[in-house]
Amino acid sequence: MGEENYLPHVSIDCVIFGLTDNSLNALLLKVTGTESWVLPGGYVEKDESIEDAALHVLKSRTGLTDIYLKQFMTTGNSERSFPDDVRRICESLGIEWTEGHWANKRFISICYYALIDVNKFKPTGGELEQEYQWVDIHNLPQMLMDHDNILRKGYEALKENLGNHPIGINLLPDKFTMPELQKMYEIILDKTLERSHFQKKMLRFDIFRRLEERREGVPHKRPFLYRFDENKYQNELKKGARFDV
C-alpha cells in the first residue's frame, strides 16, 4: 500500500461498460466532496501482471471475476501528471498529500475496457471512493485527469471491435432474445438496424443456439431465447468466418 509496492509511473484504468434499457453506460466513481468522477483504476504490484492488476480492479469494484476484458490503449504524454487532481482525491480520502507525493509524478496508464452484465453486478466497497454511478457514455459528468478522454477512446475501441467480433454478448444475460441482441448493437453502434435482416444475418453466423423457451412476461408475442455457443463459434472461426455487422 504505497510507493514501494507498485511499479512507479504506471497505472491501470478500466472502463466498465454496462447496458441498460436505452443506453450504454460506464461505471464511474465519485470523488467524495467534489462533483468530479473518475474511472475505476489502480496500480500494478511489482510481482503482478498488468492483466491481473486490471482484474483486481474489476473484482474490487464489481464483485465479478469472470469478466470480458480488453486492453485497448496505453496513454503516456510526458505532461501526463495531475497533482491538483491527486490532491483532491487525497483530500477526499483523508490521505496526506504533499508536493512530492509519488502519485503526482508522470504516469503511463494502461487502459482496459470490460463488458459486464449489469444484472450480475454487485457493487463492492472500494477503499478509495464510495459513491458509484452508471453513466450514459453520451452524457458524461465532469471527470478528473484525462479520464473523459480515456473513456471516449475506450468507447471507440469497443465500437470497432464490435464490428468484427460478437463480443457484445458479454453485456447480455446468458439467455437473450434476438430483439435484445439487436438493441445492444443499435445502442453501441448508435444507429438503427433493420430487424428482419439483422436476425437472418445473426443466425447465419451460426454461433447461437435457439432454446425451446421464450422470454416470458413481455407484453406482446414472446421472442425465442438464444444462447451463445462457444463450440459453434470456434468452428466458425476455424472456417475463417467473419462476424462484422
Partner DNA sequence: CTTTCATTGTGTCAATTGTTCACAAAGGAA
Partner DNA sequence: TTCCTTTGTGAACAATTGACACAATGAAAG
Give residues in contact with a copy of itself (CB under 8 A): 7-10, 44-52, 71, 73-78, 106, 108, 110, 160, 163-164, 242, 244
Minimum CB–partner distance for residue 151 and a copy of itself (Å): 18
Total residues belonging to the chain: 245
110-to-24, 50, 54, 164, 178 alpha-carbon distances in Å: 22, 8, 9, 23, 35
Minimum CB–partner distance for residue 185 and DNA (Å): 12
Minimum CB–partner distance for residue 98 and DNA (Å): 57
Minimum CB–partner distance for residue 18 and DNA (Å): 21
Smaller CB separation from a copy of itself, 7 or 167 = 7
Smaller CB separation from a copy of itself, 9 or 59 = 9
Q: How far apart are CA 67 and CA 61, in angstroms?
A: 12
Smaller CB separation from DNA, 32 or 199 = 199
b/e sequence 82-111, b meaning 16+ C-beta within 10 Å = beebbbbbbebbeeebeeeeebbeebebbb
Positions that interact with DNA (CB under 7 A): 177-179, 194-197, 199-201, 204, 214, 218-224
Smaller CB separation from a copy of itself, 36 or 104 = 104
Positive or negative torsion for Cα 50, 56, 58, 64:
positive
Q: How far apart are CA 151 and CA 59, in angstroms?
A: 19
